[in-house]
Each structure stands twice: as structure tokens, then as C-alpha cells.
Structure 1
Amino acid sequence: MTGTGLSPAHAAVNGLSIGVLMLDTHFRRLPGDVGNGRTWSFPVQFRVVRGADPAAIVHGSPEEFLQPFIAAALDLVACGVRGITTSCGFLALLQKELAAALPVPVATSSLLQAPLIEAMLPAGRQVGILTFAAEALTARHLSAVGARPDTPVMGLPPDSLFRQVYGNRGGVSDPARLEEEVVAAAQALVERHPDVGAILCECTNLPPHAAAIAAATGRPVFDIIGFIDWFARGIAPPRFGDA
């Protein structure tokens, strides 16, 4: 039985574990992005929350979209998913409310990993956050996930192609240029904060570049994809044969 009171056999779709609440965007999502179906090693379902575009969520008030997010999530649950995530790390602000409103576990944001990552690091090391927009990532977001308020944060420049494309403002996606910008921001993070022992990617468009970030900085890199792989494994643990 799932938390909905319905057995998986009676759901609209079977064999699902994760549902993804998508922002209302119109850009190319690379393999490795949360919104590219080829990213996932297990079946997922997507629902777009209309009107919830990047500007409204990152620079606006996500709370204004709480009810549409709840409705979309309930539709995914009725379809058969057993856990919910989202396509924007800034939705950490809705973690508590969505978890309270839904009958299945919710992992709104990669940022939820911050306390765990920091607990794993050697003495004198801390986690650093690489984000879409540093000016928009506030103490409220950090508090919502239990991260320290002085956690180092580095964002992509406002005039970057990354911000232009993934901010839904247009522009032609150029994976090589996007990766150059992301790597430069990650390098700036560790240069400014040498005690950063691991990098946490807030933005769900960053995972396609995680390997390049790790190679350039020499730090472990955590993102939404690894987080949801772990989340899904807990929801539907694999079966192993006899030893």
C-alpha cells in the first residue's frame, strides 16, 4: 500500500517511483538535467505547473504557487508515483508545506543535502553552494533546509548565457559555453572559499556539468540527480539474490 490508500496495482500507471513537478519553461534540457527523460535510470512522470516560470519562482514568491504545486503533485500521486521532487532548487521554500499536504515523501530541492554533506566532510571543511542566482538565494532558503546561514554561495553571472537560457529569456543553448560558465563559477567559489570541501549544485540544470566541475575543482559534487537516485532507492529498494 502507498500513502494514498491505493495499492500500486490500482494506480493509473504502474512501475513508477518518482514524479517531477516542472516549472513552466521553454528551453532545451540536456541529458543529465532533471527534465530530460534520458537522465533517469527508472521511469518518472512529469507535470508542468503552468505559470510557475523561473522568474516567478527564483525572483518572486513561490508561496503564491503553493496550491497549483499541490494539485499537480496530487495528480502525479493518483497516477502512481510514490515520491515527489521538483525542477528548481529554490522550491526549498515549499518543502514543509508540500510535505504536509501530500501523502507521499517529498524532496523539493537539492539543497536538502547540505547538512548531510557537511556532516561527512573532514574537520575544517564546509559545503559550498553553486546556484543559478546568488542574489536570490537567501537565508530563508538555507533555513528551510537546515543549512548554516553563512554557507558559501556562488551564482552564475546575471549576464551569462546560463542565466539567459535557463532563466527562460531566450538564447541559443550552447553546451560547451554553458559548461565553461559553470566551471568558472565553481572555480570562483573554491578560490574565494578555500575551505569548501564539497560543492552542492542548487540548480537542476547544473548536473550535466557535474563531472566538469569536479575535474576543475578537485571537490566532490552533489546535485539533484544523485539525490533523487538515493530517494528513489529508498522508496523502491532493489531486490538482491541470495549471497
Structure 2
Amino acid sequence: MANEPKARLGILMLDTQFPRILGDVGHAGSWPFPVRYAVVPGATPEAIVCDDIEPFVQSFIAAGRELVAEGCTGIATTCGFLALIRPRLAEALGVPVAASALEQAGIIAATLPPGQRVGILTISAASLSPAHLRAAGVPEGSSVEGLEESSFAQTILGNRRDLDVAQARKDMVLAAQRLVARHEDVGAILLECTNMVPYAIDIAAATGRPVHSIHSYLTWFHAGLQPPVFAAP
């Protein structure tokens, strides 16, 4: 439609078939502003999280260039593990890139009282390497809790067509409770995985901690791409 607002934010999607429920980064209804998506063929969750990302770098760049050519002035992705390639994406695309929810860890840490730190929930603690954390600027000493054995992780990493939302919610709450039980100094929780956002409210209620995610990150990011307009007094 000619009168539809143009999307400033372009989102590079993994090649997935699991349900993108409301709240998920890949569900357009999750955003209070227009977004434009581009799928990177072959970049499945397992390939990006568990295998070598290098074979897909040029495909991410190509898809990003298409989004920029269509008018997007900022680029994001749908996987926290893509923090590793953010510098190369930004250099190749020539626009700001917000590749991973993990990139806000330093800002979150700066808001916490002395003696508290950020705790990270990730779909795979075994795959989330020190290199990923360094690339995203995650402060040293941040606690990490994985969901490798959960039904949620098996659905996402296995790229299955069916998602048990009720079980995924239980998986999230249990993992978050483990995180704060093992690390009582966790003052805020950061969700690495972009598919965890629908359960953020449940995690917050179960732990009493603030919960940050790709949704909070990209809402902030988009506010810079398209500043709000306020009526004159």
C-alpha cells in the first residue's frame, strides 16, 4: 500500500520452519513499528548455533544488502550467536547492525547496584563460547545458564514444525530459577535466544528480576533509526 510507513529496520532471518509465535522476533506483530524480513537460505538454527558460521557469512551479507537497497537504515538478526559476525556485517552493509541481544549486556550491567551482575539464558551454554561473549561485549563474570536438554531447545535447534508453548514456558521458568539459585548475585536476566521473548514475562514473575531480550534491544535500536515525533506544545 502506498500509504504504509516504510520499514527502517531490516531483520535477517534464519532458515526456519518452527512456529514464530507472537513475541518472537520473526513475528511481525511483535513490533510496534514496521519491519522487513529477509531469510538466509540454509542458515538453520543448528548450523548457526552448533556448527561453523563461516560458510554463511556472505549469504548474510547478500541478504542484508537487499534489505538496505529496499530502504532499511538498520539491520538486525534473529540469533544471538550472530554476534560473531556483527563487525563484518556492519562493514559490508554500511549501516548500523544490532546482531545479538547479548550486545546490550554492558548497558544492563551498568544499571545494576554494586555487587550484582547480568545472568544470561541461552539455548546452548555448550555452544556459547568466550568468543561469542567477547564479540558482544558481555562483561566478564556474567553467569550463563543453558537449556540444551529442554523441549524448547530441541524444537528450535531441531527446526521442528510443532512447538509446545506451555512446555516451553515451563522450560524457561525452570532454567531461570536455576540461574538465580546458583548465582544469587544475578540482578537482571538477559535472553540470548530471540525465540525466548514470549516467555519474558513469566521469567520476570518467577525470579523477581528485570528481563532483557532482543525485543528490548531492537525497540531501543529502532528509536534511533526513526526518532519519535511529539506534538508541539
Assess same fold via TM > 0.5: yes
- Identify the range of structure 1 (180-189 vs 146-155) with the bigger mean alpha-carbon deviation: 146-155
- Which residue in 2 is equivalent to 1:57? 48
> Which whole-Å deviations, capped at 9, do the CAs of 1:27-63 have from their partners, x for residues lacking one?
1011000001110111111111001111111011222
Please state whether the residue corresponding to 1:200 is helix, strand or coil.
strand
**In 2, Cα distance between the equivalents of 1:157 and 1:231?**
29
- Which residue in 2 is equivalent to 1:41? 32
- Which residue in 2 is equivalent to 1:225? 215
- Which residue in 1 is equivalent to 2:187? 197
Paired residues for 1:1-243 under 5 Å: 15-158=6-149, 160-170=150-160, 172-243=162-233
**Conserved? CA contact 1:47–1:72, under 8 Å:** yes
Q: What displacement does 1:221 show?
A: 0.2
**Conserved? CA contact 1:14–1:80, under 8 Å:** no
**Conserved? CA contact 1:33–1:207, under 8 Å:** yes
Q: What displacement does 1:114 show?
A: 0.5
**In 2, Cα distance between the equivalents of 1:170 and 1:53?**
11
Q: What displacement does 1:168 show?
A: 3.0
**In 2, Cα distance between the equivalents of 1:147 and 1:41?**
28
- Which residue in 2 is equivalent to 1:3? none
- Identify the range of structure 1 (97-106 vs 70-79) with the bigger mean alpha-carbon deviation: 97-106
Match for 1:198: what amino acid? Answer: A
**In 1, Cα distance between the equivalents of 2:81 and 2:158?**
15
TM-score (norm 2): 0.96
**Conserved? CA contact 2:8–2:73, under 8 Å:** yes
Please state whether the residue corresponding to 1:170 is helix, strand or coil.
coil
Percent pairwise identity: 50
**Relative to 1, partners in 2 of residues 1:207 and 1:72: Cα closer, same or farther, differing over 3 Å?**
same
Q: What displacement does 1:171 show?
A: 6.1
TM-score (norm 1): 0.92
**Conserved? CA contact 2:104–2:217, under 8 Å:** yes
Q: Which runs of 5+ in 1 are unaligned?
A: 1-12
**In 1, Cα distance between the equivalents of 2:108 and 2:131?**
19
**In 1, Cα distance between the equivalents of 2:106 and 2:55?**
27
**Conserved? CA contact 1:25–1:168, under 8 Å:** no
What is the CA RMSD across the aligned residues, in angstroms? 1.3
**In 2, Cα distance between the equivalents of 1:139 and 1:165?**
25
Match for 1:144: what amino acid? Answer: A
Q: What displacement does 1:14 show?
A: 5.9
Match for 1:185: what amino acid? Answer: A
**Conserved? CA contact 2:19–2:161, under 8 Å:** no
Give the aligned length: 230
Q: What displacement does 1:169 show?
A: 4.3
Greater than 2 Å deviation, 4+ residue runs: 168-172
> Which whole-Å deviations, capped at 9, do the CAs of 1:82-135 have from their partners, x for residues lacking one?
110001000000111111111211000000001110011000000010001111
